[in-house]
Structure 1
Amino acid sequence: MIKLVSGVLVLAAFVGGVAAWGNLGHQTVGYVAQQFLAPKAAAFVNSSLGSTYSYSLGVAATWADTVKYETGYTWSAPLHFVDANDSPLTGSCSVQETRDCGDNDCILAAIANYTTRVVNTGLSATQRQEALKFLDHFHGDISQPLHVEAYEVGGNDINAICGGSSTNLHAAWDTGIVTTNVNANHGGAATTYANDLVARIKTGIYESQTSSWLACDNTTEPVYNKRSVEDDVNGLLVSKATTITPLECPLVWAREANAFDCTVVFNYTTGQDLCAGSYYNAAVPVIDLQLARSGYRLAAWLNVLFDGSPNLP
């Protein structure tokens, strides 16, 4: 069970050095989502974020990574990931709610918590804005394959090379590969990258996939049968209990991202430059897809909350 709290989640100590997608990736998710917001969701985003964040989920998307190092927000650091205790090097990838988030101090519980808080009119405007910024950020985090993986601290303890420079595997996925791709193919800007991904969603290679992005059918460990974003959000909001059953969609999305750990992320050779050649060419389509559907799903999530349905093409 996930404990629903009225304030913050009490969290365990955090192992430093973990971020997800970096500023560029997170901004891209926010900018993608911004273009699919329904009227009431867009109105709330505009009024809540205001000029401080240029009325934009893209600008606000990096806030959660910034504050987790501040004294008043160190409790939030473990909410950015779920440590999947699986075995990606042997081809066994999985995320299990009880095994990997039994203490509720992970991104799966956080998305549920801040979903209820963002629409709680009993909270202050500042508290609801905070909830929105966390949701904005965590929808990006959950799609990063190494944010749903415990092996070697999500790849942070694995030395790597990106563009000829020393780094680690996690950082290569957070920033190195994303930045290389955006500089080479999307004008070096998150806004351009987001526009290009939106074009793929509306009329390009992702158009036929979008309906499946909002379905949350879990074939391995079903929590519900035939679940969707709309089912997940509405089911959470009508619950009056102090505890709630796990949300299906975040768990499915975590498993979806985690599967890439077995097929792409750890499929490298020592000394290989991860930001060039065959590894880079395999990673870029994964990152493009994950960022595109994270933004699309974030929009759907907010649209259901404020407009009553996903309201998406």
Structure 2
Amino acid sequence: MKTAHLAGITLALVGRVSAWGQVGHETIGYIAMEFLATNAAAFVKTTIPAKYNNSLGPAAPWADTVRSLSEFKWSAPFHFIDANDDPLGGSCSVEESRDCGNTGCLSTAIANYTQRVNDPSLGATQVMEALYFIDHFLGDIGQPLHVEAYEVGGNDIPAKCNGVSTNLHATWDTGMIVKMVNATYNGDPQGWAAALVEEIKAGSYKSSAAGWISCSSTTEPLSRRRTVEDDVKEVLKARQSPSQITPLACPMVWARESNAYDCSNVFHYTNGTDLCTGTYFNTNIPVINEQIAKQGYRLAAWLNVIFDGSTGL
């Protein structure tokens, strides 16, 4: 198997592509809406305005739409964890002290906005924006190339998708997703979300969903096991300043889970192959489906703990 990298060839891009694109992010939000507990659902519906249908789905891409604006350029580093590992050499890892940077990153941003969304001292707009960021960042952390530094998270690796020249990052963000959703769900993110919700409730994900919101192995001693409830309650209790917030256990576990796909799947193809056809596409669509389902479920669990005190799942 040849490496995915073509030496000496890069694409001229401005910034990075958004994780999962609009379709993926909306789908994560729609999934979360189906698992919200009473208080979390009420908060979401009263905080997100009618222009987004009072829903996490349409609101999920907001953080991508504003980060190119001058007043939100500071948020750009929060969409990523630049894992400085070696995916082509089969060595994938995520270490906060190594990969997060001085300005913060995806894991620290999740902790920060978890505190802010429930901070009574903040105004309505600040709270709304905190919810938007949580909605988005809980999606970003499930995209393998948003937890990878190599070639700017795949942005600088040319690729082909459905005969169109693009890059590896964009292929994962939008190319494979759009092809699958158009073919299977008539281009409708809500249709895709409904199918994944059914898989979580009664299908292929039912037996594993509980593990998605546990952040420790069952072999860990009870005293060392972590859950979404532990993480969220800890940061809400701490009321730390943004500069002091440390990454929570669950987002780092989820980041490492995503990053592992960089070694096992993302870079495994022959140069020149159309990645939106054949083996690569058929192998990775199940990965994308599960990552989208996981992050929607996790987003709901996260908000449920903030506003209802437990995941309720």
2:69 aligned residue: 70
Q: Which amino acid aligns with 1:236?
A: V
CA distance in 1, matches of 2:139, 2:302: 13
CA contact (8 A) 1:186 1:196 kept: no
2:100 aligned residue: 101
Shift of 1:15: 6.8
Moved over 4 A (4+): none
1:307 aligned residue: 308
> Residues 143, 208 of structure 1: CA spacing in aligned structure 2 closer, same or farther, 3 A cutoff?
same
> Residues 218, 117 of structure 1: CA spacing in aligned structure 2 closer, same or farther, 3 A cutoff?
farther
Q: Tell which deviates more after alignment, 178-187 or 237-246.
A: 237-246
Q: Which amino acid aligns with 2:178?
A: T
Q: TM-score, normalised by structure 2?
A: 0.92
CA distance in 1, matches of 2:225, 2:302: 17
Q: Which amino acid aligns with 2:128?
A: Q
CA distance in 2, matches of 1:163, 1:282: 16
1:126-275 equivalences under 5 Å are 126-217=125-216, 225-242=224-241, 243-275=244-276
CA contact (8 A) 2:77 2:103 kept: no
CA contact (8 A) 1:218 1:248 kept: no
Shift of 1:102: 4.2
- Which secondary structure state, in structure 1, belongs to the residue aligned with residue 121 of structure 2? coil
What stretches of structure 2 of length at least 5 have no aligned partner? 1-12
CA RMSD of aligned residues (A): 1.6
CA distance in 1, matches of 2:145, 2:114: 23
CA distance in 1, matches of 2:55, 2:166: 31
CA contact (8 A) 1:176 1:275 kept: yes
1:5 aligned residue: none
Q: Which amino acid aligns with 1:182?
A: V
What stretches of structure 1 of length at least 5 have no aligned partner? 1-13
CA distance in 2, matches of 1:241, 1:136: 21
Q: Which amino acid aligns with 1:283?
A: N
Matched, 1:114 2:135: no
CA distance in 2, matches of 1:307, 1:187: 36
CA distance in 2, matches of 1:17, 1:278: 26
1:3 aligned residue: none
CA distance in 1, matches of 2:266, 2:198: 26
CA distance in 2, matches of 1:193, 1:290: 13
Shift of 1:50: 2.4
Identity across the alignment (%): 58
- Which secondary structure state, in structure 2, belongs to the residue aligned with residue 160 of structure 1? strand
Q: TM-score, normalised by structure 1?
A: 0.92
Q: Which amino acid aligns with 2:272?
A: G
1:90 aligned residue: 89
Q: Which amino acid aligns with 1:156?
A: N
Count of residue correspondences: 296
Q: Which amino acid aligns with 2:283?
A: A
